[in-house]
C-alpha cells in the first residue's frame, strides 16, 4: 500500500500528540513531534546562555543554527525521545524553564525556516505522522490527510491539571487555564506561520471524546484516505 503524509495541527494541550503517536504506532509510520524541535532549540539557548532579560541573542542563535543537531530515537518501550547532539533531552524539554520560553523561540523566522527544512526532509519518503501548528499549512501543504484538533480552553486546562496531579505536581486550575489561553493567543497571533486550520483539514473538536474514541475516529479517517481513489492519494 502506498504511504501517505499525515499532518495533525491544533491548539496546545488538546491531545493531538497522543492521537498522532497512537496512529503512527498502529499503522507502522514514523511519528515526529515538531513542537519538541522548537523545545530543543529553546533548551540549546538555555544551555548556551542565549536568553537575555527580555529576549534572546538572535545573532548568536542564528550563527549557531547549523550546529543544532536534533534527532529522535525510540526508547526501550518503543516511545520516541528527543535528542540534541546525541544526548537525550526528553525530560529537560518538558520542564517549565523550556515551556515558558518556547513560544518566543517559535516566533523567530530563521528558527522556523531551519525547523521546516528539517521536517520536510524527515517527511520526504512519506509514511509519516507529524503534529504541530503549521504542518498542514506550511510544512506539508500537500499532505493527503490533514487534521485540525481543538477542544475548549476549559477542557484542555482540566486535562492538563489532571495530568500534573497524576504526576504529583501542583498547580491551580485557574493558572493553567490562563496559560492555555495565553499560548493560544501567541500561537495564533504570531506573524510567521500562525496556528490556523488549513482549508482542506478536517476539524476535530474532541471536547467530549475519550482517547479510544479519538483513536477510532482518526483510524477511520486514515482508512478512508488510503482507500480513496482520487489521484491525490495515488
Nearer to ligand DC, 4 or 32 (CB): 32
Nearer to ligand DC, 18 or 207 (CB): 18
CA distance 53 to 56: 8
Q: CB 161 → ligand DC: shortest distance, Å?
A: 16
* Span 28-47, contacts to ligand DC by CB under 6 A: 34-35, 38-39
Question: CA of 188: how far to CAs of 14, 25, 128, 165, 185, in Å?
Answer: 15, 30, 25, 28, 5
Q: CB 75 → ligand DC: shortest distance, Å?
A: 18
Q: CB 140 → ligand DC: shortest distance, Å?
A: 11
Nearer to ligand DC, 35 or 80 (CB): 35
Q: Under the criterion CB under 6 A, does residue 80 sit at the interface with ligand DC?
A: no
Q: Under the criterion CB under 6 A, does residue 5 sit at the interface with ligand DC?
A: no
CA distance 63 to 141: 29
Q: Under the criterion CB under 6 A, does residue 133 sit at the interface with ligand DC?
A: yes
Q: Under the criterion CB under 6 A, does residue 102 sit at the interface with ligand DC?
A: yes
Spatial CA neighbour of 51 closest among 100, 122, 114, 16: 100
CA distance 98 to 45: 10
Cβ pair 85, 18 in contact under 8 A: no
CA distance 213 to 225: 19
Q: Under the criterion CB under 6 A, does residue 150 sit at the interface with ligand DC?
A: no
Residues that bind ligand DC in the complex, under the rule CB under 6 A: 12, 34-35, 38-39, 102-103, 106, 132-135, 187
Amino acid at each position: 500500500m502506498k504511504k501517505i503524509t499525515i499532518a495533525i495541527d491544533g491548539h496546545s494541550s488538546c491531545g493531538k500528540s497522543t492521537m498522532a503517536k497512537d496512529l503512527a504506532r498502529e499503522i507502522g509510520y514514523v511519528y515526529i513531534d515538531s513542537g519538541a524541535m522548537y523545545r530543543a532549540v529553546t533548551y540549546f539557548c538555555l544551555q548556551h546562555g542565549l536568553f537575555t532579560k527580555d529576549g534572546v541573542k538572535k545573532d548568536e542563535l542564528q550563527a549557531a543554527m547549523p550546529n543544532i543537531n536534533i534527532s529522535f530515537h525510540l526508547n526501550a518501550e518503543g516511545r520516541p525521545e528527543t535528542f540534541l547532539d546525541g544526548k537525550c533531552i526528553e525530560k529537560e524539554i518538558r520542564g517549565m524553564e523550556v515551556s515558558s520560553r518556547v513560544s518566543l523561540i517559535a516566533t523567530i523566522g530563521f528558527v522556523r525556516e531551519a525547523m521546516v527544512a528539517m521536517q520536510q526532509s524527515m517527511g520526504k519518503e512519506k509514511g509519516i505522522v507529524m503534529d504541530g501548528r503549521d504542518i498542514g499549512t506550511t510544512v506539508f501543504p500537500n499532505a493527503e490527510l490533514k487534521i485540525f484538533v481543538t477542544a475548549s480552553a476549559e477542557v484542555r486546562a482540566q486535562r492538563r491539571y489532571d495530568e500534573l496531579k497524576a504526576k504529583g505536581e501542583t498547580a491551580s486550575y485557574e493558572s493553567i487555564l490562563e496559560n492555555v489561553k495565553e499560548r493560544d493567543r501567541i500561537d495564533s497571533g504570531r506573524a510567521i506561520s500562525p496556528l490556523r486550520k488549513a482549508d482542506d483539514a478536517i476539524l476535530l473538536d474532541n471536547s467530549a471524546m475519550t482517547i479510544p474514541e479519538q483513536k477510532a475516529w482518526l483510524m477511520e479517517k486514515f482508512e478512508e484516505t488510503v482507500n480513496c481513489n482520487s489521484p491525490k492519494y495515488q
